[in-house]
Structures are given as structure tokens and as C-alpha cells.
Amino acid sequence: MLIVQKYGGTSVGTLDRIEAVANRVIQSVKEGNKVVVVVSAMSGVTNTLIEQAQYFSKNPNAKDMDMLLSSGERVSSALLSIALNEKGYLAVSFSGRKAGIVTDSMFTKARIHYIDTKAIKTELQKGKIVVIAGFQGVDEQGDVTTLGRGGSDLSAVALAGALDADLCEIYTDVDGVYTTDPRIEPKAKKLDKISYEEMLELASLGAKVLQNRSVELAKKLNVNLVTRSSFNNNEGTMITKEDGMEQALVSGIALDKNQARVTLRNVEDRPGIAAEIFAVLASENINVDMIIQNVGVDGATNLGFTVPQNELDLAKNAMQKILNSKTTIESDNAVVKVSIVGVGMKSHSGVAAKAFKALADEGINIGMISTSEIKISMIVHEKYGELAVRALHECYGLDK
Amino acid sequence: MLIVQKYGGTSVGTLDRIEAVANRVIQSVKEGNKVVVVVSAMSGVTNTLIEQAQYFSKNPNAKDMDMLLSSGERVSSALLSIALNEKGYLAVSFSGRKAGIVTDSMFTKARIHYIDTKAIKTELQKGKIVVIAGFQGVDEQGDVTTLGRGGSDLSAVALAGALDADLCEIYTDVDGVYTTDPRIEPKAKKLDKISYEEMLELASLGAKVLQNRSVELAKKLNVNLVTRSSFNNNEGTMITKEDGMEQALVSGIALDKNQARVTLRNVEDRPGIAAEIFAVLASENINVDMIIQNVGVDGATNLGFTVPQNELDLAKNAMQKILNSKTTIESDNAVVKVSIVGVGMKSHSGVAAKAFKALADEGINIGMISTSEIKISMIVHEKYGELAVRALHECYGLDK
């Protein structure tokens, strides 16, 4: 098999951790695989570089930042290659450029245009392990770019797609994707498989395993992703196409504590009013999540939505500017969002009703509800957050 | 003027030192110059990277080492560019590759083949300060290379040559080139000017200001070099062509404490014997410095030479293998080499005689003498090293 393995910052956080990564790579080679490795910077390095830049400037220019930030992954890729060579396995370290990763010129948040895999394939054919600095590429002008948050995962997925790899393994410090946060519900179970769509919902709901951008790309390129821990030998979670899987009704429960609820009362009920409101929020770069609007009465309506807690004041100030005097703004920071995710719910009715009953049985009031094909999200008082997660986890039998 | 400024590791050793460098660059721009800056890694960074590599391997492969080591200069160039931009001066950071520095593929000790200055010139024409990561280039295959010890100086000199710069300023933590080591002779004076040839002799005699490789390249490319301190505003020392300068008889006195003297007595006096001896020393990579051979008597001769002290045992063992039983090997670690350097001595007789008298007046016995066109070196007992330097410094009036 051709496998792309990606190791995150904690997995290469110390020299002896890099040594352990080398042994893991070698294990995979011994099993007969060709291996391409993508590494992040050693944990802490990128933050130190950012702090150094901020000594000089609150807003350092993006092109210099990419020259700066790209250095961390170069170091870890070189060190891993040195370790592999020392252990008698031919390896070579590649920068993003040498790996053929060409991006646009949006420095610090570049998007991959294409990957010219020629150099990688040449080294693989020589029997070498190719160790690639993640998180970086070059633009058409030959300037170094970085891919933004989660960029190393993205490098790995894009490379797996371009190389038509059999598998893309993302190594982190957690075992995989769980039915819910094990710190909240100790009965949470690791999922063996999950669909791209479910993973996307879970990631956007706060599961820290993978960034949405990487899952989206994996879905687009049909890359079989496995997320697993580099600190043990447990099997991870396979993230792959939906069909062919045994369909669980519900795959997981997520809790997002970073939401604030906003309710606008007596909003003028005319076409375009919602667009105006959300346009002003967008212009302030506020991430609006759930949006609820009921049918209006007497030319006025109520509008509810959620924003990240630290953007609440900004959101309220922005809306003051455009709302008329009749409209009142209410907000509540003391809320959390609990979500149920599952491909299975597409074809099953009653999933939502079951959730509402489970919460009602615990005396939990639901403030807002929003649903998609494979997700139901509910806003509840923050004091009930963990209880709601456990109740839902049990009612769908996820601990079985 | 177009000026290439190079700042060494201590000059960019901390964030506030980088800030000071930014101000110095800006000062030069304000004076109407176009400035290209070459920076080393922040002091200590390269050693840390080497230690990290050695955690994995006593002999890490050179290609990975260059990927690793080249990261340090990228960081300092990015930080300096960020600092300049923040102060309102347009700047851009360049890797060695982006600067167009193309080398051979001798990783960790690459030689510059040529420099394509197009990208640098484009930025200069836009009025930008170009900040270049020193010590690095790329080979024809696009792999990162580093230039070995003193590599950032070399980058600066080569760039100054390729750009036809008016001046190449090398900033370090010393004020320039002195008539002798001021720690030995407090009356030592900083030289305003010195020829390439004299600088080459002084550098090979242990003056730490510049590596010979850089001075040789400056001479070849006709680059006007100035070495000065980044910690004050003192004028430095200009290293330039010999002609047109007022010729001092002697420019400087150097002391080398790392020499050991070897004398071979009763060496068979036949053609080729010296070649055999020095071939075996060369095969052990022993750096032989002074070599003295007298005319032989009765088919035997005496041969004297010096080697670095830590290579003395190696040299003796090597010679045991090839010398016949009649030859005896004597050696002496307790010696130093004192040297007089000056272009002026080419056209003046009596320089040597003056030196011998000055040492005799102090009761210093001379063990070996070797001369070149612009240099006289003498081996004396180590206890007289500093006294000899002061006596010679005075007898040529260098403190005037």
C-alpha cells in the first residue's frame, strides 16, 4: 500500500517523540508499505515564532510571516529524515516546494492549486521514505506560502489525493473520533468508521480531531482518512465514503460551550431584512451559527441566532447601527449547543422526537432548535450541557 | 550607493538587537542608499539545530542537515523584514533560493556557481529593502544547500559582486581589523584600510574578523569590503585593492597559540622524501603550516614543520610508519607562532632584520623562521608570545 502518514505537533514535540515517530514509520515500511510522511512543527515552535514577529509588529506582513512560519516544519522534517537514515532506512526531507505543492498567493492562508508529485514519485521509486514539511507550499512566483490553521492535515490529504494513496493516516494525541467527549461521558465509544459528512458536522461542532477543510478535501478527493494516536497502537477511526457502511442511526453527540444566543424582537417583517442583518454581521467577520426565524405576526417577527461568545458585544454593536428603535436585542451568554450527528437520521423519522423526550425527561428546557439532514442542534442552559450530552448518548444507545 | 550589509549571529542575537539592526539599515536608506541586507541565524540557533541532529545521528546526512540548518537564517531574515516594514520602510525577506543563489550539490559546504539577481533587482527598483537569508542557496536540482563556515559572509560578498554593489559592509561584534590583538597589546590601533592580501595573511594567522574564503572572493570580484561593529557607530576597516593605498611597511602582528613544532633529524636526503612525508600527513588530513628544510650534509638532512597542537600525536604516528630507524622525531608543544604582515615589506629590505633585533633585545630565541612576500612568521617559546607581539608592534611603530 501507499500510505501518507501525518504527525502533528505533539507527536513530534520532543526529540524522543520524533524517534518514536521514526520507529512507527519503519514499522509501516516493514509491513510492506511505501510511506510518505508529513510533519508539523514541533509543538510550541510556531507559537514562539508568532510571538517573535509580534515583538516587532501587531500586524506583521503576511509574506514575511510565511517565510518565518514555514521554518518550523522544515526543522522537524529534516530531523525525522536524519533519524530514519540513521536507523538504516533511506529517507529524504522535502520542503513544501520540493514536494511540488503549488498554492495561490494568499499568504498565511493559501489554498493549494495543484501538486506536482514527480519529485516524490522519483524518490519513492528509489525505495526512499519521503518526509515532507507540512503546512506550506509555494505560489506561482516561487514565494513560500503557508496554508493556515490545520495546514499540515491539509498537506497530507492533498498529497494522498495527488499520489492516489491507499490511506492517509492522521496521527494526533487522541485515539480517534468518539461518540461524544469522553471527559463528559466516560461511556463514550471510539467509532471505527464515520462518513465524511458526519465528520464535517462533528468537526464544526467542536470535535478537535480534524479541521473541516481537511475533511472536505478528503471527501472531494476520495481519500480514505484514518485518525489515530501516535502515543499507542490502538486502531483509529476511518473517515470515508458513506455508502457501504453499516448505518448507525446516530454517530455522535457534540457539545459546544462557546455559543451565545441573540434574539431580536419586533424585527420589521419585510423582504431583505434578514439579509441586511447578516450582511452587517458578516462585514464584521462574526461567525453566525444557528439562525431561527418564525413566521411573523402584524408586520413584525422575531429572529434568533447564535454567535461565538467573544464576538457577542461586537455583534450587538453592529446591529444597533441598522435596527430601528422598535426592535429590542436580547442576548444570553449562559448557553451551550448540544448536537446529534448521524447519517442514519436521514432515513429515519423520530430521531428528533427521541432527543426532545430525553431532554424533557431530565427537565432540560430547549431554547433553540435547528436541524439539517444529518444533524440536530439544540441550545440549552449551560448548566445542563453535560447532562444533556449524557442523556442523548444513552437514548441512542451509543454506549452499546 | 548600492550597499550590501551583512549582520552576523550576535548582531541579530536577540529581538532588540534585530530592532537595532533595522534602525541601522534605515539610517543607511535615509542617507540615500539602496540596501540589500544579508543576515545570519540568531546566535545559538545553528548550534541548537546541530545538537538536535546529533541526538539522532553522529553523522547526519548532509542533505537533511542543509534543510535543517537553512531554517535559522530564514527566521532572522523574516523577523528583520517585519521590523523594517513596521517602521514604515518597504522590505521583503528572501531565502537564498529566491535571491537566486545557485550552488553545487556539496551539501553543508556548497560553493556558489552563480547568482541570478533578477528578483533582487526587481524589488530594489520598487524601492524595497531586500533582506536575504545568508549561508544558503539551492543546487541545480532545487535542493537547499548551505555554504559551510563563514557562509553568510560569503553570501554577502558574492551578492555584492553579482549586484556590482559599491560597498559590502560586514557587521560583527568587533570594530574592525587591528594592528594586533588589543587584549595582548592595548596600544593596538584599528586599521582604516588593509589590502586583500594582508587580510588573507592575518585571517589565516588567527584574526577572527573574516574567513579567508570571503576575502578571497572579495578580491576576485573586486568587492570593497568594510568590517565594522553593529554595536557602535565607529568607522570600520576597509579591505580593498592594494594599489592606491599609502603603503605601511607593516600592517599587523598576529599570534597563533595553536601550533606545535616537529623536527625530523637525520632524514634520508634523496629526491621525493619530503613529498612522501607530507603526502602521509595530508592523507590524515593534518594541516601542516610552516615547513623548513636546510641543505643536507652527508646524505641526511633535518626537516622542521608545524602542525595544530591537537593533531601532533596523529602526525607523529603517521610519520613512524614511513621513516627509517635512523631518523628521530622531536616535537614541542610549548611554542607559539608570531607573524608580521605587511604589503610594504615587499619593497623594503630590513623588515626581517628589524624583527629579529627586536626579539633579541628582549632575549627571545627564535626557533623557526618562514617568510613569504608579505609575511614573516617565527616560532618562539610560548612564554614569550605576548612579549614578542608587543615588541614587534612597537618596533614597527604600529601604535603611532
Which of A24-28, A241-245, A304-308, B188-192 has maximum average pLDDT?
A24-28
Distance from CA of A95 to the nearest CA of B (A): 8
Pick from B67, B83, B97: CB nearest A93: B67
d(CA B17, CA A154): 37
pLDDT reported for residue A244: 56
Identify residue A146 by its one-letter amino acid code. Answer: T
Measured between beta carbons, the chain B residues lying within 8 angstroms of A132 are none
Measured between beta carbons, the chain B residues lying within 8 angstroms of A86 are 56-57, 60
| CA atoms within 13 A of residue A134's CA, in its CB half-sphere | 31
pLDDT reported for residue A92: 97
Is the pLDDT confidence value at A170 over 70? yes
User: How many Cβ contacts (< 8 angstroms) between chains A and B?
Assistant: 120
Is the pLDDT confidence value at A24 over 60? yes
Contact A81 B67 (CB under 8 A): yes
pLDDT reported for residue B174: 87
pLDDT reported for residue B117: 97
Pick from B56, B72, B78: CB nearest A83: B56
pLDDT reported for residue A140: 95
Is the pLDDT confidence value at A159 over 70? yes
Contact B86 A57 (CB under 8 A): yes
Is the pLDDT confidence value at A227 over 90? yes
pLDDT reported for residue B273: 80
The stretch A338-360 carries a mean pLDDT of: 84
The stretch A6-30 carries a mean pLDDT of: 96
Interface of A with B in 116-175 (CB under 8 A): 142-144
**Which is more confident, A115 or B376?**
A115
Contact B95 A64 (CB under 8 A): no
pLDDT reported for residue A245: 52
Q: What percent of chain B has pLDDT over 90?
A: 64
Contact B142 A71 (CB under 8 A): no
Residue of B17, B18, B63, B67 to mutate when probing chain A, most A C-beta within 10 A: B67
Rg (CA), chain A: 23
Contact B61 A19 (CB under 8 A): no
A32: left (phi over 0), alpha (psi -120 to 50) or beta: left
pLDDT reported for residue A283: 85
The stretch B194-199 carries a mean pLDDT of: 90
Nearest CA in chain A to B132: A67
Q: Are strands A34-39 and A2-7 parallel, antiparallel or unpaired?
A: parallel
**Which is more confident, B226 or A198?**
B226
Contact B97 A142 (CB under 8 A): yes
For residue B218, name the pLDDT band (cuts at 50, 70, 90).
Answer: very high
Is the pLDDT confidence value at B247 over 80? no
pLDDT reported for residue B9: 94
Is the pLDDT confidence value at B144 over 90? yes
Interface of B with A in 66-85 (CB under 8 A): 67-68, 70-72, 74-75, 77-79, 81-83, 85
Distance from CA of B361 to the nearest CA of A (A): 58
| CA atoms within 13 A of residue A243's CA, in its CB half-sphere | 1
Is the pLDDT confidence value at B178 over 70? yes
Is the pLDDT confidence value at A246 over 60? no
CB of A239 less than 8 A from some CB of B: no
> A124-138, A212-226, B214-228, B358-372 — which is least confidently predicted?
B358-372
Query: Mean pLDDT score of chain B, rounded to an integer?
Result: 91
Distance from CA of B147 to the nearest CA of A (A): 17
Measured between beta carbons, the chain B residues lying within 8 angstroms of A65 are 78, 82
Distance from CA of A236 to the nearest CA of B (A): 29
pLDDT digit string, tens, across residues A43-55: 999 999 999 999 9
Is the pLDDT confidence value at A346 over 80? no
Interface of B with A in 184-223 (CB under 8 A): none
Which of A247-261, A343-357, A375-389 has maximum average pLDDT?
A375-389
**Which is more confident, A127 or A246?**
A127
The stretch B144-160 carries a mean pLDDT of: 95
pLDDT digit string, tens, across residues A284-340: 888 888 888 776 677 788 888 899 998 999 999 888 888 888 888 999 999 999 999
**Which is more confident, B305 or B270?**
B305
| C-beta separation of A135 from A95 below 8 A | no
pTM: 0.82
For residue A204, name the pLDDT band (cuts at 50, 70, 90).
Answer: low
Contact B57 A95 (CB under 8 A): no
Angle value at C-alpha B69, between B66 and B73, nearest 5 degrees: 120
Q: What percent of chain B has pLDDT over 70?
A: 96
pLDDT reported for residue B312: 92
CB of B86 less than 8 A from some CB of A: yes
Contact A93 B52 (CB under 8 A): no
Pick from A52, A77, A86: CB nearest B56: A86
pLDDT reported for residue A274: 80
pLDDT reported for residue B125: 97
Measured between beta carbons, the chain A residues lying within 8 angstroms of B98 are 142-143
Distance from CA of B27 to the nearest CA of A (A): 18
Query: Mean pLDDT score of chain A, rounded to an integer?
Result: 91
d(CA B90, CA B92): 7
CB of A50 less than 8 A from some CB of B: no
Contact A74 B78 (CB under 8 A): no
Measured between beta carbons, the chain A residues lying within 8 angstroms of B89 are none
Measured between beta carbons, the chain B residues lying within 8 angstroms of A79 are 52-53, 56, 64, 68
Measured between beta carbons, the chain B residues lying within 8 angstroms of A71 are 71-72, 74-75, 78
Pick from A19, A93, A144: CB nearest B64: A93
Is the pLDDT confidence value at A185 over 70? yes
Is the pLDDT confidence value at A108 over 80? yes
Contact B71 A67 (CB under 8 A): no
Is the pLDDT confidence value at A209 over 80? no
The stretch A384-390 carries a mean pLDDT of: 94
Residue of A59, A64, A132 to mutate when probing chain B, most B C-beta within 10 A: A64
Return the number of other C-beta atoms located less than 10 Å from residue A82's C-beta. Answer: 29
Is the pLDDT confidence value at B124 over 90? yes
